[in-house]
Amino acid sequence: MNLKKEFELNSKNIFTIPNILSYIRILLIVPLVIFFLREKYLWSAICLVLSGLSDCVDGFLARKLNQVTKLGKMLDPIADKLTLLAVGVCISVAEPLVIPVILILITKDILMVTGASIMLKKGVMPCASLWFGKVGTVCFYTSVTAIVVFDLILKIPHFDVVSFVLLAVTAIIMIYSLFRYSQIFRDSLRKAKEGKECENTEDK
């Protein structure tokens, strides 16, 4: 069964609970950005927390309710990347300290999207988000929420040091995540190539 047929079989499961949570995360980007640009940081932080909570439970619900779908595996990282990029751009405007982490995030996402595109062209389905990717996402949400609440809203003195530590840890985890995903990308393409070579040998 090829990749196209696999996706068609799952296309009827568009509105599963985990997929709906991914749609909500994407929709939350709009009020999150609007609130942030209007300096209503508390409401922006609430949107971010809601987005982060939905991100934490959608994978669990997908497995618990037996609603794991091909569409869901694609929607989850897309929602993550759109949210992270939107938040990153917003907060880098208010807090330039975040810019290096945002550059790492953008580089990581560009490489991962490029890798996923190559896999799809070769008929290989990209893997769903794994634990190290989720940890990086949670660290980013935690760091950004802490900066918004304690620095922009409460304006706690000398919070820059804590912000730097949080962002440094987030950057390290993102780099590790990119390394692990690159290994999976390489192994998946190698196995797909070996599988095709075996099929060709059998045909002969």
- Residue 28 binned pLDDT confidence (cut-offs 50, 70, 90): very high
Q: What would the pLDDT profile of 115-164 be if each residue is shown by its tens digit?
A: 888 887 877 777 767 788 878 878 887 888 888 888 888 888 888 788 88
> Does residue 200 sit within a domain?
no
Residue bearing the bigger pLDDT, 12 or 143: 143
> Does residue 47 sit within a domain?
yes
CA dist 100 and 165 (Å) reads: 13
> How many Cβ atoms sit within 10 Å of the Cβ of residue 38?
10
- Residue 200 binned pLDDT confidence (cut-offs 50, 70, 90): low
CA dist 90 and 36 (Å) reads: 7
- Residue 1 binned pLDDT confidence (cut-offs 50, 70, 90): very low
> Does residue 203 sit within a domain?
no
Report how many domains make up the chain: 1
Taking residues 66-76, report their average pLDDT: 77
pLDDT, position 64: 79
> Does residue 116 sit within a domain?
yes
> Does residue 138 sit within a domain?
yes
Asked whether residue 9 carries a pLDDT value surpassing 60, the answer given is no
Q: What is the CATH number of the domain that holds 80?
A: 1.20.120.1760
Q: What is the DSSP letter of 157?
A: T
Asked whether residue 168 carries a pLDDT value surpassing 80, the answer given is yes
CA dist 201 and 74 (Å) reads: 33
Locate 177 and state its tokens.
């995540």
Residue with tokens 């940081």: 41
Task: With beta carbons less than 8 A apart as the criterion, state whether 83 and 21 touch.
Answer: no
User: 102 is in which domain, residue-wise?
Assistant: 3-195
Taking residues 86-106, report their average pLDDT: 81
pLDDT, position 35: 93
CA dist 39 and 153 (Å) reads: 9
> Does residue 188 sit within a domain?
yes
> Does residue 201 sit within a domain?
no
